[in-house]
Amino acid sequence: MKKCLLFIMLLGSFHCAYAQQRPQYTQYIFNNFILNPAISGIENYIDVKAGYRSQWQGLEGAPETSYISFHAPLGKNFLYGTSTSVPQSGGTNPNSRSYVQTYMASEPHHGIGFHVVSDKAGPISRTDVNATYAYHLGLSASVNLSLGVAAGLSKIYLDQSKIILENQIDPAIGSGDYGQLKPDLSAGLWLYGPRYFVGAAAQQLIASPISFSDDESYNQGRKVPHMFISAGYKVYLGDDFAAMPSAMVKVVSPVPVSVDVNLKLAYKDKLWMGASYRKDDALSAMAGFNIGSFINLGYSYDFTTSGLNTVSNGSHEIVLGVFLNNRYKVSCPQKSW
């Protein structure tokens, strides 16, 4: 067990210094807002999400992530207008072709949001708190563009009690500052219409140093930028069914580029299932459902395909969504699906 703890400690230290520092999500397609602030206020209701991810089950000290987020549009013209082409009592199934025929670009409006993310990996834990803002405008009758920013704080903490050292006096740790507050800044853009989206976001734009040692020669770690590029397209398979292939490329220097490919199949606005492939990491199965115009729920399970598959029992992730102030009785997201 000591070897396992030491391995996780070293992995966590590398993770914090130069590797991927943001949490991994399988169901990011269900809540792209957690990655891209430009999505703030994209729908005409208050979108609330809560998520939990347990990664690499069976491996001691493996990452655990939880978050809560919400975002909403501002402006009465957007809330009461025809920006989603849906009458107040509900209306066109967003999976149907008729929705494309009547789709209208959003009225220019502002969106705001907020999210808190807690991530733990081995002896290192991190909490990110960010407020977001976005501006949406219609470029044409059916094309929308939004630009967004997020700003906040990151608290990074090293739990020394979870570290087992051969030499109790280790200059790499010393009596260092085990709880640190760092500024955080992100930006993104989102181009979207009734059948597609293309987005790009950059997180951790402020490269703050991260160190836990009194010895300056060991203080080489810092927050590094994370780039996310994503795109998706809706293919109609009849009035009741739709397929939504999507992909995301994640760039975090100097580690290899990460590529996710997804396929989501939806039945009306009630049920969906899908699959995902993450290069050199995992295969995933996903499913979810919507309950009326108030709640939706998604679950995914990752089958580990990397070298950790000999000690990992896979990863679980669950996301609960709630639609508040849903005046149009929308039962399925129509701008971000």
Q: What are the boundaries of each domain within the chain?
A: 2-26+35-47+65-263
- Rounded Cα gap, residues 305 and 183, in angstroms: 35
Rounded to two decimals, the pTM is 0.84
- Residue range 214-265, pLDDT digits in tens: 666 666 677 889 999 999 999 988 888 999 999 999 999 888 899 999 999 9
- Residue range 255-288, pLDDT digits in tens: 889 999 999 999 987 899 999 999 888 999 999 9
73 near 107, Cβ under 8 Å?
A: no
Residue from 210, 224, 215 nearest 178 by CA = 210
Take residue 221 and report the two structure tokens written for it: 């770690």
By three-state DSSP, how is residue 319 classified?
A: strand
Q: What is the mean pLDDT of residues 75-91?
A: 47
Angstrom distances, CA of residue 157 to CA of 123, 161, 178, 185: 8, 12, 5, 19
Specify the pLDDT at position 11: 42
- Rounded Cα gap, residues 133 and 331, in angstroms: 25
Residues 16, 17, 18, CA angle at the centre, nearest 5°?
110
DSSP state of 220: -
State the pairing for strand pair 179-192/221-222.
unpaired
Residue from 111, 53, 63, 116 nearest 286 by CA = 53
